[in-house]
A and B are shown apart, each in its own frame.
Chain A
Amino acid sequence: MNPQVLRPRHPAAPALRRFSPAVVLTILLAPIVTTCAPTISQFSPIAYEQATSLKVDAQALMSKATQPYANHEEAVTALTLRVAKAYEFARGRRRNAISARQWEILADSSRNLLGGFLARWKRESTLSATFVTEAKGVVADAFDTIIGLESGKLKPDNVK
């Protein structure tokens, strides 16, 4: 039996043979090129700077939570505003939902990271030194997850 007879042939095969390999290659590559849009945002130096700077400022402010909240209310309001701006910046970037969700968890006053810590400080006026030290460690690690993801994103130079 002649195997040639059994081999299925694509209906477009005779037409494709008329084109040069370069044209066929272009046809083959087109889907790859058009689907090359990134699945996650690229690295943003602004987002990175926001996260590292807020980490340092948040840690400094948390250290003061052994003192009455009323003495630092303005500083808390200012920091909360800056965190909200960082969240909005993250939310506004395309394909950046994961980073935005991280900021949301960090800032949420009903959770137990930075937002929750500041809310508890306000509620209880002062917090114990041991608790403040330990909470600072957890919040620092939370900031590091944001910083780690941002710094792990592809730099624009690596995408071209």
Chain B
Amino acid sequence: MPDFKAFLSALKDGVKGLITRTLAEHGEAAGKDANAFLEKTRADLERWTKQLAEGALTKDDFAFLVKGKADLAEMEALKQAGLALVRVDQFRKSVFDLVVGTATKMFVKV
């Protein structure tokens, strides 16, 4: 029968891989979202400033839209916070599957 040391060593390698994968995936997705948001905000502000100068938007319109962007940034941050929690749940499930899978492979005779 395999010993506990081998079991723990197998687990350690698996968990290391899981952590690396989870952090990389989350970092990439969050970075993409942040860049897209900043890029869109830059384009919107540029257009709104031009529309304000041309008189197509009033000062109140402009202020409303800029404040709306700030509210939107808060909602985007909430989305990212929620998705980070989803990753935590995914990670915990993966750790559980890894422990059970490794233990079954090493200790349970078929």
Contact = CB atoms under 8 A, between A and B. Distances in A.
Interface of A: 21-22, 24-25, 28-29, 32-33, 35-36, 38-40, 98-99, 101-102, 105-106, 111-113, 116-117, 120, 128, 130-131, 134-135, 137-139, 141-142, 145-146, 148-149, 152-154, 158-159
Given A128-B61, A134-B48, A149-B82, A39 B72 contact: no
- Interface residue tally on B, bucketed by range: 35 or more
B99 A120 contact: no
B68 A25 contact: no
A159 B65 CA distance: 40
B76 to A, nearest CB: 5
Given A102-B75, A102-B79, A149-B82, A120 B64 contact: yes
A39 B99 contact: no
B110 interface: no
A36 B79 contact: no
Interface of B: 1, 4, 40, 44, 47-48, 51, 56-58, 61, 64-65, 67-72, 74-76, 78-79, 81-83, 85-86, 88-90, 92-93, 95-96, 99-100, 103, 107-108
Contact of A98 (B57, B72, B81, B95): B81
Contacts of A146: 75, 79
Contact of A130 (B51, B71, B72, B92): B51
Listed from nearest, the 5 A-B pairs whose CB atoms lie closest are A112-B68, A40-B85, A112-B67, A145-B75, A131-B61
B77 to A, nearest CB: 9
Contacts of A98: 78-79, 81-82, 85
Given A113-B72, A130-B51, 20 more contacts: A21-B1, A22-B107, A24-B4, A32-B95, A33-B96, A36-B93, A40-B82, A98-B78, A111-B71, A112-B70, A131-B61, A134-B51, A135-B68, A145-B79, A148-B83, A149-B78, A149-B82, A152-B86, A158-B90, A158-B93
Contacts of A128: 56-58, 61
B72 A149 contact: no
